[in-house]
């Protein structure tokens, strides 16, 4: 059975390479060189669907930028839109991208194949829009350095804020993609990939370099643009009547190379599947083992889903008490309880949040926060390190934020005022955190308690959002947005 299965997969890979020209034949968007194999592997991970959406968005935006370079229009005509959406969806499925991933990412709505930014549908209209020159100046490649990328993103955010005002996030997302396409249409493929890596916050985009123009360029009838095969090889063969022998030798060679690559991919695929199965088995065993060490709480912890606790370190009450110097290192208080600074025996420093009393509501908040933070991972969200459950005591251990809360810097006397540049960067960091919660969580989350005391600053004044006790999961996909621009006016 294993031999027949391998043969079936091998045949599918060869068939896939033969069918790609047919799939993308009627769509004018050029997806050649797109690393769809990487997209499939990223989208297979259900924990980080936001990254999957950013990869799909980036590849579509790069293809629109290529199209804009040739036609000066930001996307295909309306009569070709459905054709492109269908053909691209089929290509993604052929490479193993789950259909529910494109549905979750809003392919065709949040990720269109043509951009209309408040009536601007051409490159010229975007280039001539107010303050676009600032974006072009700040987004000059290379953008591989983090400081240059941040400068580019800040210029783009300021440009979109002045252009759109208080528009909905769908318009903001479309205009962001239109801004990228207008910029990328003015540069070569390598530079376009560099800009896309910065704009969409992803790495590993693989675009084949443009071949140098031949000395004698023959007129060739237009041919459909083909998406790259898994081996990322895009070959163009010019037929000549005087080289039949050469072609008869080349064709078997190409066939052998494709077969060899397919076999290698098959072996790698089998290894990855076996490794994933072992990880799942280990994860299930760890979850069962960790449940034995939970002492019975005063009320059953209903909200804590099975497996969430195994992702974090479990501390004992004794070591928590010792790390906080008998709970004398208070650094803050809130509705949830008191926060202490803890220095653990291994040298790690954490902020320990203690629940004041074990009520039904408090227990629900405690369980809800663990459940939420178990699936939230973002550089602008305060990370949960561990927890402690012992009798009536409940503790959450977070990463320690050296510079405290934004409220301390805005309202505490004797503090050095924050510079405007720092304030703007804090606003952008909080906006990035909210964008992640609203668009890239499944289901989307609404924090519902954004305020200066819940915005914490690390040693480099990088802002991170904290306190998810009131976070609300929107099962129907609707989102209530929290204002963050007020930070600049305080």
Residue with tokens 């002492």: 295
Say which residues have a Cβ less than 8 Å from residue 155's Cβ, sequence separation at least 6: 134, 135, 137, 138, 139
Phi/psi at 350 (nearest 5 deg)? -145, 160
Q: Is 51 annotated as a binding residue?
A: no
SS3 state at 244 = helix
Cβ distance 113 to 85 under 8 Å?
Answer: yes
- H or E element in which residue 385 lies: strand 384-390
Angle between helix axes 169-184 and 420-439 (nearest 10 degrees) is 110
Phi/psi at 144 (nearest 5 deg)? -70, -30
Cβ distance 442 to 434 under 8 Å?
Answer: no
Specify burial of residue 103 (Cβ count, 10 A radius: 0-12, 13-18, 19+). exposed
Cβ distance 397 to 349 under 8 Å?
Answer: no
How far is residue 177's CA from residue 171's CA, in Å, rounded to a whole number? 10
Cβ distance 464 to 380 under 8 Å?
Answer: yes
How far is residue 249's CA from residue 261's CA, in Å, rounded to a whole number? 19
SS3 state at 370 = helix
Active site residue 177: no
Q: Which of 449, 458, 467, 476 is catalytic?
A: 449
Dump strand ranges (E) for 329-433: 330-333, 337-343, 349-355, 384-390, 393-399
Annotated binding site for ATP: 353
Which residues are catalytically annotated? Answer: 449
């Amino acid at each position: 059975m294993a031999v027949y299965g391998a043969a079936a997969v091998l045949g599918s890979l060869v068939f896939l390479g033969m069918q790609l020209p047919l799939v993308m034949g009627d769509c004018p968007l050029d997806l050649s060189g797109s690393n769809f194999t990487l997209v499939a592997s990223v989208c297979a991970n259900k924990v980080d669907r936001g990254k999957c959406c950013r990869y799909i968005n980036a590849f579509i935006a790069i293809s629109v930028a290529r199209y804009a370079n040739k036609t000066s229009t930001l996307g295909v005509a309306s009569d070709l839109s459905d054709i492109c959406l269908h053909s691209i969806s089929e290509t993604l499925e052929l490479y193993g991208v789950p259909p529910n991933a494109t549905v979750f990412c809003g392919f065709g709505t949040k990720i269109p194949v043509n951009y209309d930014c408040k009536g601007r549908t051409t490159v010229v209209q975007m280039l001539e829009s107010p303050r676009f020159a600032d974006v072009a100046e700040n987004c000059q490649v290379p953008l591989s350095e983090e400081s240059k990328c941040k400068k580019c993103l800040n210029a783009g955010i300021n440009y979109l804020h002045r252009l759109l005002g208080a528009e909905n996030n769908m318009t903001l997302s479309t205009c962001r993609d239109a801004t990228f396409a207008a910029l990328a249409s003015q540069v070569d493929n390598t530079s376009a990939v560099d800009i896309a890596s910065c704009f969409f916050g992803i790495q590993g985009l693989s675009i084949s370099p443009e071949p140098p123009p031949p000395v004698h360029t023959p007129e060739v009838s237009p041919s459909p643009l083909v998406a790259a095969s898994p081996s990322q090889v895009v070959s163009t063969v010019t037929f000549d009547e005087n080289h039949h022998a050469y072609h008869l030798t080349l064709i078997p060679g190409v066939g052998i190379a494709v077969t060899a690559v397919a076999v290698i991919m098959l072996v790698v695929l089998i290894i990855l599947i076996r490794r994933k199965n072992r990880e799942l088995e280990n994860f299930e065993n760890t979850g069962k083992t960790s449940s034995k060490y939970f002492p019975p709480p005063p009320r059953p912890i209903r909200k804590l889903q099975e497996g969430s606790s195994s992702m974090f370190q479990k501390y004992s009450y004794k070591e928590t008490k010792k790390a906080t110097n008998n709970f004398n290192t208070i650094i803050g208080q809130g509705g949830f309880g008191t926060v202490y600074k803890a220095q653990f025996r291994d040298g790690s420093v954490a902020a320990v949040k203690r629940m004041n009393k074990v009520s039904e509501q408090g227990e629900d908040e405690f369980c809800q926060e663990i459940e939420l933070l178990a699936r939230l991972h973002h550089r602008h969200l305060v990370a949960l390190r561990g927890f402690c459950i012992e009798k009536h005591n409940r503790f959450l251990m977070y990463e320690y934020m050296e510079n405290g809360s934004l409220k301390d810097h805005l309202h505490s006397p004797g503090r050095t005022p924050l510079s405007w540049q720092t304030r703007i960067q804090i606003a952008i960091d909080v906006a990035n955190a909210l964008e992640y919660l609203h668009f890239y969580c499944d289901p989307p989350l609404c924090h519902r308690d954004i305020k200066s005391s819940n915005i914490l600053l690390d040693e480099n004044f990088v802002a991170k959002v904290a306190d998810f006790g009131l976070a609300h999961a929107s099962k129907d996909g609707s989102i209530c947005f929290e204002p963050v621009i007020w930070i600049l006016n305080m």
